[in-house]
Structure 1
Amino acid sequence: MQRRTFIVAAAATCMLISGTVQAQSYRAEYRLSTTLGTAFPWGQAGERWAELVKEKTQGRINIKLYSGNSLVGGDQTREFTAIRQGVIDMSIGSTINWSPQVKELNLFSLPFLMPDYKAIDALTQGEVGKELFAVLEKREVVPLAWGENGFREMSNSKRAITSPADMKGMKFRVVGSPLYNETFSALGANPTQMSWADAQPALASGAVDGQENPLSVFVAAKLSTVGQKYLTLWHYVADPLIFVVNKQVWASWTPADREAVRQAALQAGRENVEKARKGIAGNDNAVLKQIEAAGVTVTNPTAEQRAAFVQATRPVYDKWSKTIGADLVKKAETAIAKR
């Protein structure tokens, strides 16, 4: 009886010590990185995730949002490497920004792969999305949920664009991915890679003529005030977001808290997608009306006009399909066809 009492007491002591060690392994604060701040749906998603995590873990996990990729000096393309290295604990990252390190994420940047929102959902919420999460899990991060920055539309300060010929010689700011350079070069434009922090001053000064971004960014950044008076709705690529946690940070939490963080990410992701599409998708065109009210000429290419853009960029599509992986691209094309 005395031996049994000793064993029970020892077990209880071990549990207490284990709990204390676990509590001590939690940091006072975790760093969450996003590219855009809380004026944008992207940054708001980060704010919401942090809020939900604190609520669901009863304050055990506290998150501080660092927008503008400030943890990597504003360089969007360095973010994924910094997460793997532990410089960043958590992120809601762009598939575009991470694609230089994760070639499969270039899938979403294949020109004119996804014609509508149902096509995006067919990829992120289906087998393709699961396969991409499996790829990320091998890279020292734990992917939890999908969000959305949206379809990237083209604007400029010169003229309405309805064909590749209209883009000839124009300077466009593009993100730091060679796929975007090649796409705009194939259309006859002059692409210039720069961070978003540098893009707005460049647009204001006329150093570049145009840019491509989701409509939510166009509105929140007030791009009509920096010369962007012509907008083309061509849906050429989309930019899904991914909620991730550094693998070592993830391992430091209890299973219960990991599940709480996952559920918080899923909820914040759903809310983010809804917010990113509000006023844009379906019959809701409130955002377009707001843009037009700011004096912007909005051009919606016909099917025939859009086909000219598709044809001009097809060699880029074919080349990058091999880099991404022919099987993955085929799966994506099949999923979209069945949507």
Structure 2
Amino acid sequence: MDTSNRAAAPRRLAHRFALTLAALGLFTLPLSSQAEELPAIQLRLAHVVNSDDTYHIAATRFQELVSEQSDGAISVEIYPNASLGDERTLLEGMQIGTVDMGVITNGPVANFVDDFSVFELPFLFPTAEGAYSVLDGEIGQEILDKLEGVNLKGLAFTERGFRNITNSRNAINEPADLDGLRLRVIENEVYVDTFRTLGANAVPMAWTEALTALQQGTIDGQENPVNVAAAFNLAETQNYLTMTRHIYAPAIFIMSLPRFNALPEAAQEIVLDAAHEASAYARAQNAATEAEQLDEVREAGMEVNETPDIAAFQAAVAPVYEKYGQRFADYLPRIQAALE
């Protein structure tokens, strides 16, 4: 991390409590004192999901906040539904400056900066609060800052959430029930190894392709948070939902580094603050709506298992930690210590 990042880190961390209060409506962040001096700035923000999804909630809140905090000088145009490409395409577009920014799942980001993969280890985070304490703290900021080495700017961690298994074939209560299940996973080797270790036939593919594969029956299931099952009406193709909560999946507000560096300093501050506040807002929305979304998928016909044998799943993924423990030696022990 360069000296400018080290100098900025205390300010970013100091905002965290105020941003959380703001997301809950208990505090209003002041407008930048330099907002009235800003030129008109337009940003294009892309993501790969629909307008009912958590990513769009975060993106819309970000859009509102930058407009408010810049007194209208900064406007954000949102491109949902992979209209500008899948997540790898969006990241590559940000690197060369053809896409300004996006809300991107952690797994694909890890293909650009390997340290992000540490967050994909199964059952690493026991609670959402534990995940937030790591992601919003020193460890999370160090890893976000590494994106600058690949011409990207990490703004803030938002979330996809705790991931669960859905499928069309059979009820799942323990790892043996996954035997041979053709399960779509994120295009990330830790995900692939985790589910192959559990006995599934892990099939890595982009989400846009997965939706078609589920409809055509070329895969049996997928794993994602409850909000995805509800937002994408997965009950149309999936009969079973098992609340394994096997991985807490962050998502990230990411910006093209050249685009970020080209912004006036006051605009950079507004963008960073808005990304943090929008992330806290999206997390709060996820927590508030999960029970309602579970009711929705039940009513749509899904059989939901809220009490699978988690201990059996945790024991079964021990080889994943044996394989990746040394690779993530810089961060895994620190994360585990922070969670004690």
- The letter of the residue matching 2:288 is K
Paired residues of 1:173 and 1:210 also in contact (CA < 8 A): yes
> Kindly, what percent of the aligned residue pairs are identical?
32
2:339 alignment counterpart: 336
1:141 alignment counterpart: 152
Asked whether 1:286 is paired with 2:297, we answer no
Paired residues of 1:148 and 1:239 also in contact (CA < 8 A): yes
Secondary structure of the 1:315 match is helix
1:9 alignment counterpart: none
1:232 CA drift (Å): 0.8
Asked whether 1:100 is paired with 2:111, we answer yes
**Selected match of 1:50 from 57, 63, 87:** 63
Counting only pairs closer than 5 Å after superposition, residues 24-35 of structure 1 correspond to structure 2 as 29-35=42-48
Asked whether 1:270 is paired with 2:288, we answer no
State the 4+ residue runs in structure 1 displaced beyond 3 angstroms. Answer: none
Paired residues of 2:82 and 2:208 also in contact (CA < 8 A): no
Paired residues of 1:35 and 1:43 also in contact (CA < 8 A): no
Structure 2 stretches lacking a partner, 5+ long: 1-37
Give the distance between the partners of 2:146 and 2:276, measured in 1 at CA: 19
Shifted more, 56-65 versus 266-275: the winner is 56-65
**Selected match of 1:159 from 161, 170, 174:** 170
1:244 CA drift (Å): 2.5
Give the distance between the partners of 2:172 and 2:248, measured in 1 at CA: 19
1:290 CA drift (Å): 2.5
Paired residues of 1:46 and 1:65 also in contact (CA < 8 A): yes
Secondary structure of the 2:66 match is helix
1:292 CA drift (Å): 2.0
Query: Residues 128-162 of structure 1, C-alpha deviation per residue, up to 9 Å, x if partnerless?
Result: 21221222233322322221111110011111111
How many residues in Structure 1 have an aligned counterpart in Structure 2?
303
Give the TM-score normalised by the residue count of structure 1: 0.84
**Selected match of 1:181 from 188, 192, 198:** 192
Structure 1 stretches lacking a partner, 5+ long: 1-21
2:79 alignment counterpart: 66
Compare CA radii of gyration and give the structure with the larger one. Answer: 1
Give the distance between the partners of 1:68 and 1:260, measured in 2 at CA: 26
1:313 CA drift (Å): 1.6
Shifted more, 215-224 versus 81-90: the winner is 81-90
**Selected match of 1:200 from 197, 204, 211:** 211
- The letter of the residue matching 2:73 is R
Paired residues of 1:150 and 1:277 also in contact (CA < 8 A): no
1:101 CA drift (Å): 1.1
1:30 CA drift (Å): 2.2
Query: Residues 46-95 of structure 1, C-alpha deviation per residue, up to 9 Å, x if partnerless?
Result: 12212221232233322221223332x33x23432322221211122221
Paired residues of 1:141 and 1:244 also in contact (CA < 8 A): yes
2:135 alignment counterpart: 124
Paired residues of 2:174 and 2:312 also in contact (CA < 8 A): yes
- The letter of the residue matching 2:279 is G
Give the distance between the partners of 1:106 and 1:57, measured in 2 at CA: 35
**Selected match of 1:214 from 199, 211, 225:** 225
1:190 alignment counterpart: 201
2:320 alignment counterpart: 316
1:250 alignment counterpart: 260
Q: 1:319 to 1:68 in 2, by over 3 A?
A: farther
1:230 CA drift (Å): 0.9
**Selected match of 1:298 from 283, 304, 307:** 304
Paired residues of 1:187 and 1:312 also in contact (CA < 8 A): yes
Give the distance between the partners of 2:178 and 2:269, measured in 1 at CA: 48
- The letter of the residue matching 1:131 is E
Paired residues of 2:123 and 2:248 also in contact (CA < 8 A): no
- The letter of the residue matching 2:141 is K
1:272 CA drift (Å): 0.9
1:168 CA drift (Å): 0.6
Shifted more, 90-99 versus 47-56: the winner is 47-56
Give the distance between the partners of 1:275 and 1:313, measured in 2 at CA: 30
Paired residues of 1:147 and 1:243 also in contact (CA < 8 A): yes
- The letter of the residue matching 1:298 is V
Secondary structure of the 2:129 match is helix
Q: 1:30 to 1:279 in 2, by over 3 A?
A: closer
Paired residues of 2:174 and 2:313 also in contact (CA < 8 A): yes
Shifted more, 185-194 versus 128-137: the winner is 128-137
- The letter of the residue matching 2:257 is K
Secondary structure of the 1:318 match is helix
1:212 CA drift (Å): 0.4
Q: Please give the root-mean-square deviation of Cα atoms over the aligned residues, in Å.
A: 1.9
